[in-house]
Amino acid sequence: MDITRPTMPNAGSYSYQLEGRTANNSYKGPSEELEDKIDKMYEEINRKNKSFADPKEHIRRKYFDPTYSYYRSLDGKFHSANRMDAYNNEMRVLNEGKPYVYSVMDYAYRGYEAPSINGEIESFRRVIHERLNMDFQVSKLFEESDINIPSGISLTFRSDLYTNRISVLGKIDDNLKQRIENVLNQGNNADILSTHIGYSASSLGKSEQYSLEKSRLWSLASDIYKYTGYDMRDLEARDGSFFTKEGEDIIEKVAEGVRNATKGNTQAEQRAALGLLRSDVKYFSEKGIYKENAYTDIEFKDGHLLDVRQKYKYGVGQNGWIHDMAKEKGVDDYELSKDGIKLLSKGEPFIVPSGKIVAYQKTQKEDDLPLHRVIKKALDEFFDKIKLDIPMGTNLKIFYDKMPHKIFVYGIQSGVISDMVNSSINQNKELLDLFSQLSMVNFSKKI
C-alpha cells in the first residue's frame, strides 16, 4: 500500500482527526499470538482443576505438597519462579481472571512449540508499527485538508515541551506552512502527534533528544496545561511551587484535575499520583525549567515521519536494522506493515532439553515419590487414625530392623500406650512392606 499518497474520500472536509494508537490498530506480533495460545492452554488446565471437589486446595497441593498424588515436579525447585508463576496463573484463572505471567518457557516446557521471541526486538517492532500507522494518519489528515506538500521537501515538526503545540520548519511557502500548522494543531492532533514524537525519541531508541529529566518535565507541563490551560513559562517559581500572576498555587489547581481524572482509582493510587505531582512541582520549582531545548523534533518527507539524532530510527527507509538485529539474535524475522506482520524467515527454534520437558510436565504419582516420603505419609496416616492418648508435642523416634522385620516406636512415656502403639504398628502390613524396602531406617515424628 502506498501510504505516501492515500486516496481518501471527502477531501477538503477537514473532518478527519489523528487517532494515534487504538485497539483497532495496535501492534499484534508473536508475543500477542503467544498470549492467546497461553490463555487457551490455561483454560484447559482450569477445566481439569474444576473437576476436583476443592479446586483451590487441589492447585495448592499440586504445587506445594510433595506427598500429593498430583504433585507437579516442575524444575524440582520448591520455591522457583517457574513454580510460583504456574501456581499463581492457575489460581487467577480459577478466579475468572487472566494469567499473571505469560512465559515462553512455561509454554514450551509444557510441550508446546513456542515462537522465538526477543523482548527488546518486540519493543522496537511495536514502535515501527505505530510509525507506519502515524504515517498513514498524517497523510490522510493532509489529504482531507487539501494540503499538498511538494515531493522531496523535508519539513521539521517541532513539538513544544510545555504545550504540545506543533511548529513547522522548512523551506516552503509561508501560507502552506501556516495551513499545515493550523491542521496539526486542530483538536487533539497536536497532543497525539506530540505523544508519538516523544514516544519515538526515547531511551529505547537512544535518542539525543531524550533525558529522564526532560521526560519528567514534559509530563508535568502537560498536566498543568491540560488541567489549567497555563503554560509553565508564564508561572512564577517560588516556595517550592509555581504561582499564577494572581498568586494562585498551581499545584492546587492541577491536583483538582488529577483527582477528577483518577476518580475510578483507589485512594492509595490517587495519593500516589498526587504525591508524584507535588514532588515534580517542587523539583522544577527549585531547579528551574528548560529555557532551551524545550522541544522535540521529527522530520516529515514524502509522506513519512523520520527520526533525527538517535541510534535506532523507525521511519520508512530508516528501519532496515531491525531485520539485521533479528538475524543476529536468532529470532523470527517479520515484514511489518500498518495492518500486521508477515513472517520472512524463521529464527533458531526455542529448544528445551527433553529431560527438562519431562520433569516440568511430570505429575508426581505415589510410585514416583522418594520412598522416605511415601513412608512418612503412611506414618502420618497411621497416627491420625489410631485412637490412643498420646500427648500433643510428643517426639517419637521410629526404627525399623530388617531382622526380625519389626518397627520400634520410642518416646511415649506411658508404657501401656507404648506397647499398644508398637503392637498396632507392627500389624500394619502396608507400613512393614514399605519399611522392608530399606535395610535400616529411622524417622522422627512429632504428635
Backbone angles phi, psi at 227, to 5 degrees: -90, -20
Among 275-289, 319-333, 335-349, 356-370, the range scoring the smallest mean pLDDT is 356-370
Q: How far from the centroid of its chain's Cα atoms is residue 51's Cα? A: 30
- Reported as a pLDDT band with limits 50, 70 and 90, residue 26 is very high
Whole-number pLDDT of residue 408? 77
Q: What is the pLDDT of residues 213-223, one digit of tens each?
A: 999 999 999 99
Averaged confidence pLDDT in the chain: 86
Among 27-41, 103-117, 322-336, the range scoring the smallest mean pLDDT is 103-117
Residue 157 has pLDDT above 90, yes or no: yes
Range 330-359 average pLDDT? 85
Percent above pLDDT 70 for the chain = 86
Q: What is the pLDDT of residues 77-133, one digit of tens each?
A: 777 778 888 899 999 999 988 998 888 888 887 878 888 889 899 999 999 999 999
C-alpha cell recorded at residue 324: 539485521
CA dist., res. 417 & res. 410, Å (int): 11
E strand residue ranges, 280-412 = 295-301, 304-306, 333-337, 340-345, 363-364, 395-401, 406-410
On whether the CB atoms of residues 134 and 303 are closer than 8 A, the answer is no
Q: What is the pLDDT of residues 434-447, one digit of tens each?
A: 777 654 455 555 55
388 or 15, greater pLDDT = 15
Residue 163 has pLDDT above 80, yes or no: yes
- Reported as a pLDDT band with limits 50, 70 and 90, residue 402 is low
Q: What is the pLDDT of residues 224-272, one digit of tens each?
A: 999 999 999 999 999 999 999 999 999 999 988 888 888 888 888 888 8
C-alpha cell recorded at residue 58: 487441589
What contacts 22, CB < 8 A, 6 or more positions away?
Answer: none
Range 410-425 average pLDDT? 75
408 or 170, greater pLDDT = 170
